[in-house]
Amino acid sequence: MTVDSLATPLVLALDAMGGDDAPGIVIDGAAIARERYPDLRFIFFGDELKIAALLAERSELKDCSELRHTADVVTADMKPSHALRQGRDSSMRLAINAVKTGEACCVVSAGNTGALMAMAKFVLKTLPGIDRPAIATLIPSQKGETVMLDLGANIECDAENLVQFALMGAIFCRTVLGRKDPSIGLLNIGTEELKGHDEVRIAASILRDRPIPGHLFGFVEGNDITAGTTDVVVTDGFSGNIALKSIEGTAKLISHFLRETIASSLLAKLGYLLALGAFKKLKKRVDPRRYNGAMFLGLQGVCVKSHGGTDAEGFANAIGVARDLVAHGFNKRIAEELAAQYGLDGSGHAAQPQHSEDE
């Protein structure tokens, strides 16, 4: 059963208790998302009293929502293994379960990332042919947007993991972003063939040989992510997480410098006021809420993680990301691609005779 085959309306399972300002941002975010996509319906998992009070003020949202009371919550500092064992009745777990049972087409949570990944993997399982799920997101670039994965689900990856990430990234570009021949870059510390560790070099050689839904550009470096050199940037979760947070940190640093620059003189302040309209557009363009919604790719079900510190607008964007994955039949396309291009053996794993000795 694939959740992608569900007819509209799309029912989303929302973990109402995850995130710094939950459940407020979840309810308000759902209301914003519902205005954007009238085909959405919601099941809220969490504290009945709190959610009911918030829904009472929003009759339109209430009419397209269902409420499931859960007493347990996965906290932000809970270890994934602990959450997996002890959080069976948590809002997060029950929201994921709703995807498994087919009640919902996807789950969105702003809670503990590690716990969400552990639970989603345990409950939903990986797609046939995918060994490990990866976390992916869109990053603004000089050419539009770059898809980067993995962002932290897998600290260490072998070459085959990286190849599967490349495949998922390329399929995402084709199905969700509509890019016909996505280019794939493997993140490295130089573009020459001999650079980098074994895994990234073996992954490159596999991707050169295998048919993929797109094409291998080659190695890319950290600056290529925001330059938009390739449509997809593939890396292990350690490097990917560090790259993503370095990018976020630099954006913060420069906006800090900009504020200081504007405040530094009366002329600068006047100039800023004149240019206010343009600066507001810039602010909107680099608004981190716009890029909120990290996708857990490679699972038998759609799961999106919202930033824990986001607001209703950001949470609504994360809902939009989940909706896009479902509406474009992303998971179905992965299954089709794996079946068509590589064939699947009895175990549900893609057959890779030519490189199986490398791992």
Measured at the alpha carbon of residue 153, what is the angle toward residues 165 and 357, in degrees to the nearest 5? 50
- Residue 174 vs 289, nearer CB to a second copy: 289
Q: How far is CA 56 from CA 51, 60, 255, in A?
A: 8, 10, 39
Cβ closer to a second copy: 23 or 133?
Answer: 133
Nearer to a second copy, 47 or 224 (CB): 224
**Residue number with CB closer to a second copy (89 or 192):** 192
- Output 180 or 285, the one with its CB closest to a second copy: 285
Kindly tell me the burial class for residue 281, based on how many C-beta atoms sit within 10 Å of its own C-beta (0-12, 13-18, 19 or more). exposed
Q: Which amino acid is located at 235 in the chain?
A: T
- In degrees and rounded to multiples of 5, residue 290 shows phi and psi of -65, -30
Which residues bind to a second copy, rule: CB under 8 A? Answer: 77, 79, 140-142, 152, 155-156, 187, 189, 192, 194, 196-197, 221-227, 235, 237-239, 241-254, 256-258, 261-262, 264-265, 267-268, 270-279, 281-282, 285-286
Per residue in 296-305, is it b (16+ CB within 10 Å) or e — as a string?
bbbbbbbbbb
Give helix 312-327 / helix 330-341 axis angle, nearest 10°: 40
Identify which of residues 52 and 263 has a Cβ nearer to a second copy in the complex. 263
- Helices 312-327, 24-36: crossing angle, 10 deg rounding: 50
CB of 92 to a second copy, least distance (A): 18
From CA 23, how far away is CA 16, in angstroms rounded?
5
CB-CB contact of 176 with 330 (8 Å): yes
Q: Are the CB atoms for 223 and 246 separated by under 8 Å?
A: no
Residue 148 and residue 245 in contact, taking contact as beta carbons nearer than 8 Å: no
- Smallest distance from the beta carbon of 289 to a second copy, in angstroms? 16
We find the least distance from the C-beta atom of residue 281 to a second copy, in angstroms, to be 7
- Rounded to a whole number of angstroms, the minimum distance from the CB of residue 247 to a second copy is 5
Which residue from 312, 242, 294, 246 is spatially nearest to 31, judged by alpha carbons?
Answer: 312
Query: Shortest gap between Cβ of 249 and a second copy (angstroms)?
Result: 3
Structure tokens belonging to residue 330:
């992303």
Minimum CB–partner distance for residue 148 and a second copy (Å): 10
Measured from the CB atom, is 46 or 240 closer to a second copy?
A: 240
User: What is the smallest separation between the CB atom of 305 and a second copy, expressed in angstroms?
Assistant: 14
- Name the residue nearer to a second copy (CB basis): 239 or 352: 239
Q: Are strands 106-109 and 65-69 parallel, antiparallel or unpaired?
A: unpaired
CB of 215: closest distance to a second copy in angstroms? 22
Q: Which is nearer to a second copy, 49 or 267 (CB)?
A: 267
**Residue 269 — φ and ψ, nearest 5°?**
-65, -45
Shortest spacing between CB 184 and a second copy, in angstroms: 17
